[in-house]
Each structure stands twice: as C-alpha cells, then as structure tokens.
Amino acid sequence: MKFKRIKALIESGINLYAYHLPLDVHPDVGNNAQLGKLLGINQLGGLEAGNPNSVAVYGELDIPMTAEAFSQRIEEVLGRKPLFIDGGSEVMIKTVGWCTGGGQDYIDLAANRGLDAFISGEISERTTYSAREQGIHYFAAGHHATERYGVKALGEWLAGEHGLNVTFIDIDNPV
C-alpha cells in the first residue's frame, strides 16, 4: 500500500513532505496555533511545565461562554459536531487547553491547571471519567478536523515566502 502511494507520487513528479510533531508545536503555522486562532483562543503558554515545546497548550477566550455555546462554535468552525463531555461545572468557559489530534491524555494537565475546558481530536474511555471527576468540560472534535489547518497554513506560507505551487487537498476523515 505504501509503495503504491509513493510510486504514484514519484511517477507524477510530486514531492512528499512528511510532518507531525514539528507541525503540532510550531508557534505560527502549527496545528495548535491555527486551531486556537480559528476558535478565538488567545494562546498563553504550554501545559507541560518546563517544556518550551509543549505539545499541549492553553489560553483564554476573549468573551466567556457556556459549554453549549463553545460546542456550537467548534462545530461551526470545524464543520463537525464535537463529542461533548460535561465536566459538571456551570461556570462560563474562559480558560481552555487544547492539543490537536490524539492529545486527549493531556486533559489531566489542563484540569490540574484549573482550566474550564479542554479540546482534542480524539477521546478514550478514561477521558470521560477524567473530565467528569475533575470538573473540566471536554470536547473531542476529530483528529482530522483539528489537525488539517496547520498543514494548510504551512502550504500558504511556503507559497508566499518561496513562490512554491502548493495545493491543499482535504480528504475527509470522520475520525
């Protein structure tokens, strides 16, 4: 399968750029940076203490909102309804942690910091209990849905800075 994919690229004269963690953490074109901008979250720092390249980050909304309103904002921005786990708090959401893709295990760091909500792409059974027992709202918004904006921003930067011909092809993935 992988051979066929790479062979098709080579035969068509298409370059392959592989990315993951560097694009997750990049402060401008990274997946987390782009998701935060799209959702209107002002990024304040990393959740991993002492790690300047923390994969999970946190920030604040300009205007606090209910969990239901924040869920609706996520749906409008990403084009898919997130799975919402109610942390049981009636407090308006102001502080938010997030980690695109499979970052659900960072929820405990977000809860320890006292954040109101946490967003990631995926969810595990333990995430549900962490959210409920620690009183933090959790939004699983889809791995693909939360990580497609970093590579798109990188492509736009490469085109603008280096004149490269870049085409972003978004192949939907429900996960």
Is the pLDDT reported for residue 14 higher than 90? no
Strands 137-140 and 117-120, by their bridges, are: parallel
Cβ neighbours of residue 121 closer than 8 Å, sequence gap 6 or more: 100, 101, 102, 103, 104, 140, 141, 142, 143, 144, 145, 146, 147
Q: Is-above-0.85 flag for pTM?
A: yes
Task: Give me the mean pLDDT over the 146-171 stretch.
Answer: 94
Render pLDDT for 111-137 as a digit per residue (tens, 0 to 9): 999 999 999 999 999 999 999 999 999
**Average per-residue pLDDT for the chain:** 95
Q: Is the pLDDT of residue 19 over 90?
A: no
Q: What is the pLDDT of residue 71?
A: 98
CB atoms within 10 A of CB 135: 14
Domains of the chain, by residue range, sit at 19-162
Residue 12 has what pLDDT? 93
The CATH superfamily holding the domain 19-162 is NIF3 (NGG1p interacting factor 3)-like (3.40.1390.30)
Residues 6+ apart with CB under 8 A from 55: 21, 24, 25, 32, 46, 48, 99, 103, 106
The pLDDT of residue 20 is 81
**Contact 161/136 with Cβ under 8 angstroms?**
no
pLDDT tens across 67-100, in order? 999 999 999 999 999 999 999 988 899 999 999 9
- pLDDT tens digits, one per residue of 33-48: 999 999 999 999 999 9
- Rounded Cα distance, 106 and 110, in Å: 7
